[in-house]
Amino acid sequence: MPKPRDPAPRRRTGALALPDWIAPQLATLVSQPPAGNQWVHELKLDGYRILVRIANGRATLLTRNRQEWTDRYPTVAAAAAALPVNGAILDGEVVALDRLGIPSFQALQQASDLVAGRSLSYVAFDLLFLDWRDVREAPLIERKALLARLLHGSKGVLGYSQHFEEPGQAVYERACRMGLEGIVSKQREAGYTSGRGQSWLKTKCIARQEFVIGGYTDPAGGRTEFGSLLLGVHDANGRLVYAGRVGTGFGHAMLKALGRRLRSLEQRQCPFESAAGAAGPGVHWVKPVLVAEVTFTEWTDDGRLRHPSFIALREDKPASEVIREQRGRQTHPDSAS
């Protein structure tokens, strides 16, 4: 691998103080991958987004909403702390592989790092600081080269996210055939910018996103705990808008665990902007703090989900940030998100 040029610090010559936190860069959903050789493409990982901060031989794991999960994945923290670096910040995801070797979010939720640590991996796809130097303004392709060099020779739970330089549509179609969630296309010459923008674009193989849980219904038939979850997304004014119900995809253990949490969050007030379509017999409102990830076939014209199925709770994503993801076609790097 050719040696990348050494990116200069952003503010001054010499070492910089390592930030306690950097808000992660987020990808914008599009309907098809961008074309052109200014893009590289990575497989979209189905796991928990984690920033790893390494300072003086100690690693700290932080979720995208700044929860510390170091104790949750101690094998990942130990492996990161052993890297040959004094101060660094990595961006990536903790994933768990199913029996076919495909990243599975359900498997990740069920895995215990303490008893099955080797089933978990931290796959790094970006580097923000290296040896106390801020490299966020360096081109992506150079940051990835530095990251690959840092992780070279690492074994066990640490991995490197390879990128593909072939046409994005070909990478996307292959990812879908493999049963993966989709791909993330990134501008090879772009710097790292916190927040959502146009230099990272995600294309999904299936309709899938997060929803806020605003209530639940009584169980019926042989079901226990609850019947379905009432889901919502925030609009442009921050109001929680009802999006429909999901009543499939729950295993027995999830039904029991989620049922207990829902009962502890019950409230009299409807959390949705309007109760129309949501209210009815056997409905219980809850504080809108839990986030569910759901697959579905499409949105209806009146803003409801068609054929939704529950995947998992997302403890790493705050309910306040959940909005309806729009599949845009604009991929120009200078356009607004």
Catalytic site positions: 44
**Cα radius of gyration (the chain):** 21
Q: Which strand (E) or helix (H) includes residue 62?
A: strand 58-63
Q: How far is CA 175 from CA 2, 36, 45, 251, in A?
A: 28, 19, 11, 27
Question: Distance (Å, rounded) from C-alpha 197 to C-alpha 308?
Answer: 28
104: Cβ contacts below 8 Å, ≥ 6 apart:
46, 96, 97, 98
75: Cβ contacts below 8 Å, ≥ 6 apart:
113, 117, 118, 120, 156, 157
Token pair 């984690």 in the structure block, residue: 50
Question: Distance (Å, rounded) from C-alpha 170 to C-alpha 183?
Answer: 11
> What distance lies between CA 108 and its chain's CA centroid?
13
| Cβ–Cβ < 8 Å for 241, 303 | yes
Position 58: which residue type? R
Residue 330 has which token pair? Answer: 């604009």
47: Cβ contacts below 8 Å, ≥ 6 apart:
93, 94, 95, 96, 103, 105, 108, 123
| Cβ–Cβ < 8 Å for 336, 328 | no
| Cβ–Cβ < 8 Å for 256, 223 | no
Burial of 284 (0-12, 13-18, 19+ CB in 10 A): middle
| Cβ–Cβ < 8 Å for 307, 296 | yes
